[in-house]
């Protein structure tokens, strides 16, 4: 997570850290950085999106083997559980 945050462009990283780590409000973050509150919201949204994408890319290989029951076996297990619940 730290590496993904460090890889964010500085404007996004600053907003992300102030909002999510330091827990400043939108208004406090805007005042601290000298930008509009709308810009804070936009940068935070973009920072979160980039973090999701970066983490997805880094974790994709790990997650492939995490749930080997995907596919037909998964559908069969799900169906059996739903029948028992009925």
Task: Give pLDDT tens digits for 16-54.
Answer: 999 999 999 999 999 999 999 999 999 999 999 999 999
Report the domain count for the chain. 1
* pLDDT given for residue 68 in this prediction: 60
Q: What's the CATH number where 38 sits?
A: 1.10.10.10
* Average pLDDT of the residues in 47-70: 78
Give the predicted TM-score (pTM) of the model. 0.70
- Give the lowest-confidence range in 1-10, 30-39, 61-70: 61-70
Please say if the pLDDT value at position 74 is more than 80.
no
d(CA 4, CA 7): 5
Sorted by sequence, the CB contacts under 8 Å of residue 33 that are 6+ apart come out as 14, 15, 18, 40
Rounded to 5 degrees, what are φ and ψ at 8?
-65, 145
Q: Which domain holds residue 75?
A: 2-85
Is residue 83 pLDDT above 70, yes or no? yes
């Amino acid at each position: 997570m730290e590496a993904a945050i460090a890889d964010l462009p500085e404007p996004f990283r600053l907003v992300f850290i102030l909002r999510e780590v330091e827990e400043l409000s939108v208004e406090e973050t805007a005042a601290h950085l000298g930008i509009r509150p709308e810009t804070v919201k936009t940068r935070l949204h973009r920072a979160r999106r980039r973090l999701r994408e970066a983490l997805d890319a880094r974790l994709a290989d790990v997650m492939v083997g995490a749930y080997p029951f995907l596919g037909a076996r998964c559908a069969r297990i799900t169906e059996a559980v739903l029948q028992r619940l009925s």
